[in-house]
């Protein structure tokens, strides 16, 4: 199968990291194509950036028509534009936030989210409520690491995120941690080993869910609110 992974921001180094994380977990025979828009915000930190990213995101979805993709992944933990994207795509569209939450529910009773900046907390919390996961998510925490700091060589971002995970495990009594940014995709495995609990990356979770939907022959329902516009 072919999966299009769209990073809705314009930072190419993050797109490359996301693509590498997706390919690492993809099954043999799954082709990953990772792209980002040419215009829009360099990072998505809060609702204003998310809104600014929509034109570029939708342009990439429209561009994909006719390229024989079997699924599209929106690689922003805010699930930027997810519902309208499902209304305009001819294949299943998966947000990495929703995918990560589903994965967490399968391996833990309670999970906490560790994201980047505090400005992202309300968007993520609203999504968790919309998806119906309030009773299983203990808390959404900010590490106060800016998104682009994850791309800077020599950054102390990993240590800061790890420290916030330790606080979440101690204070929230969470059984699993969801990493709340696509730019953290390369940290999940090592952080899981370090802390002894599942640490979930939404990029990897979304790839495996996309493969599952494809194997089951399931596509976005046209009987409800995700019916394609026009």
Determine the pLDDT at residue 190.
Answer: 96
pLDDT, tens digit (0-9, with 9 covering 90-100), for 167-222: 999 999 999 999 999 999 999 999 999 999 999 999 999 999 999 999 999 999 99
Give the C-alpha separation, 11 to 138, whole Å: 31
Q: Where in the chain is the domain with CATH 3.40.50.12500?
A: 2-95+205-216, 97-202
Ranges of the chain whose pLDDT falls below 70: 230
Give the C-alpha separation, 158 to 30, whole Å: 30
User: What is the DSSP code (8-state) at residue 42?
Assistant: S
Determine the pLDDT at residue 228.
Answer: 85
- DSSP, collapsed to helix, strand or coil, labels residue 156 as coil
- Was domain 97-202 assigned CATH 3.30.450.20? no
Class of domain 2-95+205-216: alpha beta
Encoding tokens for residue 94? Answer: 């998966």
Determine the pLDDT at residue 33.
Answer: 98
Determine the pLDDT at residue 230.
Answer: 63
CB atoms within 10 A of CB 152: 11
Determine the pLDDT at residue 74.
Answer: 98
């Amino acid at each position: 199968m072919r999966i299009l992974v769209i990073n809705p921001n314009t930072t190419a180094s993050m797109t490359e990291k996301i693509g590498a994380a997706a390919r690492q977990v993809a099954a043999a025979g799954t082709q990953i194509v990772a792209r980002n828009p040419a215009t829009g915000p360099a990072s998505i930190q809060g609702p204003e950036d998310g809104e600014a990213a929509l034109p570029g995101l939708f342009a990439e979805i429209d561009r994909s028509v006719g390229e024989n993709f079997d699924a599209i992944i929106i690689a922003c933990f805010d699930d930027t534009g997810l519902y309208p994207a499902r209304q305009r795509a001819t294949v299943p569209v998966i947000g990495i936030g929703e995918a990560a939450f589903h994965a967490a529910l399968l391996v833990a009773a309670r999970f906490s989210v560790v994201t980047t900046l505090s400005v992202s907390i309300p968007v993520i919390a609203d999504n968790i409520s919309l998806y119906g996961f309030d009773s299983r998510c203990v808390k959404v925490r900010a590490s106060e690491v800016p998104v682009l700091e994850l791309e800077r060589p020599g950054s102390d971002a990993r240590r800061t995120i790890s420290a916030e995970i330790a606080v979440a495990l101690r204070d929230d009594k969470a059984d699993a941690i969801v990493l709340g940014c696509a730019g953290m995709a390369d940290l999940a495995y090592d952080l899981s080993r370090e802390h002894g609990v599942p640490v979930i990356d939404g990029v990897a979770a979304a790839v495996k869910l996309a493969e599952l939907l494809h194997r089951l022959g399931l596509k976005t329902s046209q009987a409800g609110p995700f019916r394609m516009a026009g």
